Amino acid sequence: MQEIVTFSKEGNIGLIVVNNPPVNALSQAVRQGIKTGVEKGIADKDILAMIIICEGRTFIAGADIREFGKPMIEPFLPAIVQYIEDSPKPMIAAIHGTALGGGLEIALGCHFRIAAPTAKVGLPEVKLGILPGAGGTQRLPRLVGPQAALDMIVSGNPIAAQKAQTIGIIDEIADGDLKAAALTFAKKVISEKRPIKKISSLAAKVDNPAMFEEYAKSIARKQRGFLAPFQCIKAVQAAVELPFAEGMKREREIFVELQASPQSKAQRHVFFAEREVARIPGLPADQQTREIKSVGVLGAGTMGGGIAMCFVNAGIPVVLLEVKQEFLDKGLGIIRKNYANTVAKGSLQQDVMDKRMSLIKPTLSYDDLKNVDLVIEAVFEDMAVKKEVFAKLDAVCKPGTIFASNTSYLNIDDIAAMTKRPEDVMGMHFFSPANVMRLLENVRGAKTSPEVYATAMKVGKKINKVPVLVGVCDGFVGNRMLAKRSCECGFMLEEGALPQQIDKVIYNFGFPMGPYAMSDMAGLDIGWRNRKAKFDKLSPREKANNILDKICELGRYGQKTGAGFYKYDDKRNATPDPVIEELIIKHSREVGKTRRVITDQEIIERAIYSMINEGAKILEEGIAARPLDIDIVWIYGYGFPVYLGGPMFYADQVGLKKIYEAILKYKDIVGAQYWEPSPLLAKLAKAGKGFYSK
C-alpha cells in the first residue's frame, strides 16, 4: 500500500510529499506523516532545507471530514504546525490548488511559501460555525496585519495567489512547474542564508484601538444571528493584545466553545447535507445520464430570463422562446442590464458578458427548439397554458429531449400526460431570482425515468445550483410547507396579531424577512392570483380569511405600488400603516373573532411547528426521501437560518416531544383540520427520538 506521506531527498533538500486523495485532507495519518518527515529532515545532517508539497489536484484542502464529530487522535494539528515552525532548518510550503483551513495553517507554520499562479488560500472554518484552531487566528494577523486577517477569517472566503502575495502570505509565485520552482526557491534560501521567518515571533499591531469594535459593527447586519464570525474577531483581537502562547490558548478556548455550540452542529449538518442531497437513495452511482449541450427556455420574463442566465453562465447555449417580439426584446434587455451591472461593479469582464449574451438565441418559433437536449418551460402559472405548451413541445422536439416545467406547485403528472413521452417529463423548479438563488427543486413524476432525473441533478450542479430531488404533490416540498406557515400567520392576524409583529418575530428567528414584508416585495398581486386559482380547494375558514383580497382590492400590491401590508417611501422603506391595522381589526369583527394578545412564542410555534409537522407528512408520503432534503430546500430556497440547520434538524434540537405537545395544544385551539399531528412525528416523539435519530 502506498504511503500517504513520503520523505525523499533532492540533493541537500528534503521533500515531504502528501498524497491523500482526493483533497489531501489532514487525516491522522497525514499529520503523523508530516511530523515524521520533518523529524527525518532535521535528523539528516545533509539536509539544509525542506519542502512540503502535495500530489494530485490540490495542496492540503483542510481537515478530514471523516473525522468530524469524533475524538481527535494525536498528533494534534496545533502541535504539528508548531513543530514545523520550530524546525531549525528552513521549511517551505509549495502550494497549488487550494490551501484551506488546516492546510493554510500548515503553510503558515512554514518559514516560506511559494504558490502556483492559480492557487487559492483561505480559512473557511467560520462556515462550519468554528474558527481556525491551529494558530490561524494568531499567525495570520501577525503576518498580514489584523485588518486583512479579519477579512479572510470572518468571511471564510479564499483569496487568489496574487492577492495572497500582495498582502504577504505568499513569498513567490511559481513560474512553470511548481516542484522545480520550489526546489530553485529552496536553493536560493540556502545559498543566500536567508534567516528563518517564524510568524509567531512577529507582532500584530493596530493603529486604531477601536478597530475590532468597528469591524463587529460593520458585519452586524450581514452576519446577524451567527455566533462564529464575532468570536473570530475576538480571537484575532487576542493576537494583537496577548503574547503568542497566550493568544493560542485563547484561540483554543474559543474553538472548543464554538465546536460544542448548537450553531456549529447545525452548520456542520448543513455542510454534510448539501453534499449528501445529490446522492439519490436507490439510484446507482454509475446511473447513466444524458448529455446536455443546448437548452431551450420558454418565456423571457423574470424567471425565464434568470434561467437562461444560469445556463449561459455555465457555457451552455440557450434558445429563448417568446410569443411576441416585444416580450423577447424586453427580456433580453433585462438580461443585458443584469450583466452590465455586474460588469460595472467589476465582478465580470466585458468580454465574458459579450460571450454569454452571444450564447442566447432569441426566437418566436417552436421549430427552433427541435434540436435542444433540455427544454424548460417558464410560462404563466396556469395548467391550461402549461398543457398547451407541452403538447407543442412534444410535436417539435427530437426524441430524448428532456421536458421540464418550472412550475412551483402544479401537478407534473398532469402536464406529462399531454405528451407521448411522460418518462422524459419532470419539474425543474427554480427560485426567484433564478440567476441568484441556489436551490433547484427537481420534481420527478410518476413516470419520469431515472436517467432523466439523474440528468437534471447533474445539470443542476453544473449550473452551480444545489439540486434536491422531490416527488409530486401540491407545492412539492418548499411551497407545501410554506402554505401551512402562511395559513397560520393569516389566522393569527384574525385572532390578534398584526403584520409587523409576525414579521419581527420571524425576522428575529433568523429569516431574512418576515412573511408580510416578503409578500410586499414579491408583489401581493402574485399571492392574490394564486389564492384565486386555488380558492375552490380552500377550507371555509381560509376562504373567509380574505384580508389579502381586501388589501389588493384597494390597489395595494406592495412595494411596486408604494403600499401593501405596509406603506413605503420613495426609497422603499416600510412603515406600519394604520389603514391596514384598522382593516384587520374590522375583519376580525366580521368573522366573529375576539382579538387577544398573541405572544411571540405562539407565533414561533404556529409558524414554524406547522411547517415541521407538514415536513413529517412529506417524509411519510415519500415526497422527500430524507429529512436532509427538506432542510436543504428550506435553507437554499427560503432563507431558513443556516445556524439552525433547517426545519427538521431544528425540530430535533427543540425536541419532537415538545413540538408534538404544542401541535396537540393548537389542535384544540385552531382545529384538527389544520393541526392533525403527523403519525411519523407522533411516533418519534413518543419514542423519544428525532428525525435524524430514528
Q: Are 624 and 470 in contact (CB under 8 A)?
A: yes
Give 280's contacts (C-beta < 8 A, 6+ positions apart).
453, 454, 457, 469, 625
Question: Is 466 in the same domain as 481?
Answer: no
Q: Name the 3-class secondary structure at 229.
A: helix
Question: In whole angstroms, how far apart are CA 103 and each of 110, 116, 292, 642?
Answer: 11, 15, 36, 25
pTM: 0.93
Q: At which of 259, 285, 317 does a domain end?
A: 259
* Same domain? 156 vs 62: yes
418 and 299 fall within a common domain? yes
Residue 222 lies in a domain: yes
Secondary structure (H, E, C), 498-536 = CHHHHHHHHHHHCCCCCHHHHHHHHCHHHHHHHHHHCHH
Between helices 325-344 and 302-313, what is the axis angle to 10°? 50
Same domain, yes or no, for 449 and 543?
Answer: no
Rounded-to-integer distance, Cα 662 and Cα 611, Å: 13
Mean of per-residue pLDDT scores for the chain = 95
The CA distances from residue 265 to 270, 508, 588, 609, in Å, are: 9, 20, 43, 21
Is 125 a residue of the active site?
yes
Average pLDDT over residues 546-566: 96
pLDDT classification of 694: cutoffs 50, 70, 90: low
DSSP three-state, residue 227? coil
User: In this structure, what is the dihedral angle of CA atoms 351, 376, 459, 127, given to the nearest 10 degrees?
Assistant: 80
Active site residue 105: yes
Any domain includes 354: yes
Cα–Cα dist 429/378, whole Å? 9
Model confidence band, residue 71 (pLDDT cutoffs 50, 70, 90) = confident
The three-state secondary structure class of 443 is strand
Instruction: Look at residue 615 and tell me if it is in a domain.
Output: yes
> Among residues 417, 451, 470, which one ends one of the domains?
470
Give the N- to C-terminal CA distance of the chain in Å, as an integer: 38
User: In sequence order, which residues have a C-beta less than 8 Å from that of residue 640 and are 6 or more positions away?
Assistant: 510, 511, 631, 634, 646, 647, 650
Are residues 464 and 481 located together in one domain of the fold?
A: no
Residue 439 in grid coordinates? 436551490
Same domain assignment for residues 500 and 591:
yes
pLDDT at position 421: 95
The CATH code of the domain that includes 205 is 3.90.226.10
On the question of pLDDT at 2 being above 80, the answer is no
Tell me: do 223 and 352 sit in the same domain: no
Total domain count for the chain? Answer: 3
> What's the grid cell of residue 336?
443585458
State what percent of residues in the chain have pLDDT above 90.
94
Q: Which amino acid is at 511?
A: F
Decide if pLDDT at 241 tops 60: yes
Tell me the C-alpha distance between 13 and 188, whole Å.
Answer: 11
Measured CA to CA, the distance from residue 89 to residue 299 in angstroms comes to 65
Span 444-454, pLDDT tens digits? 999 999 999 99
Beta strands in 35-89 (DSSP E): 49-54
Strands 13-18 and 49-54: parallel
For residue 13, give its domain range: 5-259
Looking at the domain assignment, is residue 284 inside a domain? no
Query: Is 452 part of any domain?
Result: yes
CATH number of the domain within which 586 lies: 1.10.1040.50
Domain presence at residue 413: yes
Q: Are residues 498 and 612 in the same domain?
A: yes
Q: Which of 10, 55, 85, 125 is catalytic?
A: 125
Say if residue 256's pLDDT is above 70: yes
Residue 380, pLDDT score: 85
Q: Write down the pLDDT at residue 526.
A: 86
280 located within any domain: no
427 lies in the same domain as 491: no
Per-residue pLDDT reduced to its tens digit, 274-314 = 999 999 998 998 899 999 999 999 999 989 999 999 999 99
**Alpha-carbon gap, residue 12 to 281, rounded angstroms:** 53
Query: What's the confidence (pLDDT) of residue 259?
Result: 93
C-beta neighbour count of 622 within 10 angstroms: 10
The set of cell numbers assigned to 56 is: 494530485
For residues 38-47, give the mean pLDDT: 97
Q: Is residue 286 part of a domain?
A: no
Per-residue pLDDT averaged across 260-280, rounded? 95
* Residue tagged active-site, from 10, 74, 105, 381: 105
184 & 324 share domain: no
Residue 413, number of CB atoms within 10 A of its CB: 14
Residue with cell 439523474: 454
CB-CB contact of 108 with 135 (8 Å):
yes
Q: Do 312 and 243 share a structural domain?
A: no
User: How far is Cα 275 from Cα 264, in angstroms, rounded to an integer?
Assistant: 17
Q: For residue 605, what is the DSSP state?
A: I
CB-CB contact of 443 with 402 (8 Å): no
Same domain, 53 and 158: yes
pLDDT tens by residue, 328-365? 999 999 999 999 999 999 999 999 999 999 999 999 99
CATH number at residue 427: 3.40.50.720
**CA gyration radius, the chain:** 29
Q: Residue 288: how many CB atoms within 10 A of its CB? A: 10
**End residue of a domain, out of 420, 438, 470:** 470
